Amino acid sequence: MLDSPSAPIRILIVDDHPVVLAGLTSMLGTQSGIEVVGAAQSGEDALNILARTPTDLVLLDLRMPGMSGIDTLQAFRRAKVSARTIVLTSFETDENIYGAVQAGAQGYLLKDTPQASMVEAIRTVHSGRRYLPPNIAARLAERMMRTNLTYRELEVLNMLSRGLTNKEIGTVLQISGNTVRNHVNSIIEKLEVSDRTEAATTAIHRGLINIEN
């Protein structure tokens, strides 16, 4: 049985921070035409709720322990979840944006998005369209046009960002110094930077590598 045109947009909020869940639930619950049907603190919880609760749209955090937002989007696709998804996150690196859209997100918002814009995004995505703020759309376009680094180049990039020399990288990867140098030159060319230091800085800024651990 089809919903009537006046039926509210049924939303599931997924975020591992209880305060964020409570805040979004309270804020969206006051909006005309929107009904928060559930709140989940993990991707697994979201899948369980979606299996038993009719839902039109999911607001999904990107960084969560266990299943990340990307993992959750991929799980939605495998489970043939019909609800559309807007990623709502504090992170806006090129790789986060690209990864979310590639995994099936129809919208991408930062958590400091004004309430009116968030509601606009919800209504836009629910209507079947995408919602990407201009700055996010521009970064996505740039990322999609940029030539992808190979897995080996990402390995080399990660190591040079940690200060390893070409010789040290070669020892770890069991390849020659010349081969490492060729990879570094290719990385510099693809990232359109001037040297290995700028390559490392650019890669961290764009989210290509993570040097926290």
Domains of the chain, start order: 9-144 (3.40.50.2300), 151-206 (1.10.10.10)
Q: Name the amino acid, one letter, at 82.
A: S
pTM over 0.75: no
Lookup: tokens for 170: 């070669």
Long-range contacts (CB closer than 8 Å, 24 or more residues apart) made by 185-190: 186/153, 187/149, 187/153, 187/156, 187/157, 190/146, 190/147, 190/149, 190/153
The residue written with tokens 């759309």 in the block is 137
Tell me if 121 sits within 8 A of 107, measured CB to CB.
Answer: yes
How far is it, in rounded angstroms, from Cα 136 to Cα 133? 5
Local confidence pLDDT in tens for the 213 residues of the chain: 344 457 899 999 999 999 999 999 999 989 999 999 999 999 999 999 999 999 999 999 998 988 999 999 999 999 999 999 999 998 877 788 888 998 999 999 998 999 999 999 999 999 999 999 988 888 887 777 565 788 899 899 999 999 999 999 999 999 999 999 999 999 998 888 999 999 998 888 777 776 654
